[in-house]
Amino acid sequence: MPAELIDGRAIARKIRADVAERVKKLAARGIKPGLAVVLVGDDPASEVYVNAKGKATEEAGMYSLTIRLEADTSQSELLAGVEALNDDPRIHGILVQMPLPKQIDPDFIIRSVDPRKDVDGFHPMNVGKMLVGERDGFIPCTPAGIQVLLKESGVQTSGKNCVIIGRSNIVGKPMAALLMQNNPDANCTVTVCHSHTKDLADHTRSADILIVAAGRAGMVNGDMVKKGAVVIDVGTNRVEDKKAKSGFRLQGDVDFESVRKVASRMTPVPGGVGPMTIAMLMANTVRAAEMTPE
């Protein structure tokens, strides 16, 4: 039988419904959660993400602020804007959309965000808390969303071999840190593969849970997947498609048709991990507001 598809949209709706209820409770305290998204330049993909985040914020009943800056904005100008948001009591979450123009050091900007408002979970303080298993910081949205997808889909992780392709600070590294933690939703034996990994297929075929976040369209095919494995496809690659009105379509890092014949469960692209990333951003933002002192 073909793999059962994990419906990220449906699970994300549950998360966002819970967020909306929590927003109502905060209103009784006179608090309206606020999310500020900063976009520097005019990258088309970033523009799509920023618009989606703004829409989701407003739908949840939160305050949404989008700041658009020119591509030639200097690092000092961006820093001044971030510092102003750090001091703004209306704002509980700050997200600086990546990538940034070449004249700006992204690590410097990430470190300039108040860790208490770092709803992306990229500040070193939050990364450190995640690594040691403390839960009072913020976890990066995509890995957090994947962990919720696995749990909500009834995937048992304890004792399973998990292989992650990709070692980015956004997905691969935090995903590995989360799934090796000593808790019921983790307890995996984790292998992280990357561009220097030899015999990649030997590793992927050992995976009970395979998470692919390499940024290469269709790089994992059915021959690389263990029978009955759970496959999470994080990739969102634009590939040319003359049949599509836009001239392109979205394709994951997994070759969907061949992998579906082998896996037991898998996420589609679109409709899998993507909706969860935004839902977890909303959840992080409302939690930041809940932590506001009385």
Q: Which residues are marked as active site?
A: 53, 97, 120
- Amino acid found at 48: V
**Separation of alpha carbons 18 and 28, rounded Å:** 16
Which residues, listed in sequence order, are joined to residue 282 by a DSSP beta bridge?
none
Tokens representing residue 79 in the block: 């820093």
Q: Which residues contact 43 (CB under 8 A, 6 or more apart)?
A: 99
